[in-house]
């Protein structure tokens, strides 16, 4: 899977201006998150794909009662995106509901269902935050492993976790279970608000199925060159 570029922009015009730096025929996989989706809506996805070979990871991190999540997932399923997310902390019934919704929405639209990823612990969550603020006992690693197992048994296709946890997750899940890892920073790159980070090549060696990279590409002086560097390190 190609490195996933996190398009954390406020507007569609900003997003398109960024993508215009890349050749039109270059296959790319991009992540659309809350910032752009809430600002521009579902039609922005069709606009971005109209003239480009884009695969889309729609990262809205659904987390609500199962009925509400299922109804929301039906809407997402209709969009024809490749990946989307729920919070594993919502529990098995919620994850199962999201999966049902994605399948139903895709059926209605005549498209392939999105693969469902469950968020384990955000890469900004430190040990202190987990224990002292969230009130969850034990280590971050133990929490991630538990949530990954829960996600798999509840029908998710994979998880989102730090690459640092990928080896431990791999021991708990099937070989085809996806481990998508944000918190990727090239050597000597600013960490920002991430805590559990790795370089692209480290993520590959640790067993990540795919990496998500935002600011090291989107804020680079030469975004295509930064992307190619990360792509080569990932490969």
* Residues of each annotated binding site for substrate: 8, 31, 59-68, 123, 185, 194, 214-215
User: CA-CA distance, 198 to 83, in Å (whole number)?
Assistant: 22
User: CA-CA distance, 28 to 22, in Å (whole number)?
Assistant: 9
Indicate if 64 belongs to the active site: yes
Q: How many CA atoms lie within 13 A of 178 on its CB side?
A: 22
- Name the residue among 187, 191, 231, 193 with its Cα closest to residue 211: 231
Indicate if 55 belongs to the active site: no
Q: Exactly one of 55, 64, 115, 201 is catalytic; which is it?
A: 64
Q: Exactly one of 59, 145, 157, 204 is catalytic; which is it?
A: 59
Indicate if 145 belongs to the active site: no
Q: Exactly one of 20, 25, 55, 61 is catalytic; which is it?
A: 61
Q: Which residues are the active-site residues?
A: 59, 61, 64
């Amino acid at each position: 899977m190609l490195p996933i570029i996190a398009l954390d922009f406020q507007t569609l015009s900003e997003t398109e201006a960024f993508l215009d730096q890349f050749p039109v025929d270059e296959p790319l996989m991009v992540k659309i998150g809350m910032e752009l989706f809430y600002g521009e809506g579902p039609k922005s996805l069709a606009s971005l794909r109209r003239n480009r070979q884009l695969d889309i990871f729609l990262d809205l991190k659904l987390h609500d009662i199962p009925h509400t999540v299922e109804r929301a997932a039906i809407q997402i399923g209709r969009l024809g995106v490749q990946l989307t997310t729920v919070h594993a902390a919502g529990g098995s019934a919620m994850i199962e509901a999201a999966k049902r919704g994605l399948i139903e929405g895709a059926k209605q639209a005549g498209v392939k269902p999105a693969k469902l990823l469950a968020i384990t612990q955000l890469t900004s969550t430190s040990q202190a935050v987990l224990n002292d603020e969230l009130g969850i006992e034990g280590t971050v690693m133990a929490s991630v492993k538990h949530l990954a197992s829960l996600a798999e048994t509840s029908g998710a296709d994979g998880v989102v976790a730090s690459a640092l946890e990928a080896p431990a997750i791999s021991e708990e899940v099937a070989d085809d279970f996806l481990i998508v890892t944000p918190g990727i920073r090239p050597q000597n790159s600013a960490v920002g608000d991430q805590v559990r980070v790795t370089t692209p090549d480290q993520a590959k060696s640790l067993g990540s199925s795919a990496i998500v990279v935002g600011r090291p590409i989107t804020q680079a002086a030469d975004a295509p060159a930064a992307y190619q560097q990360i792509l080569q390190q990932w490969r």
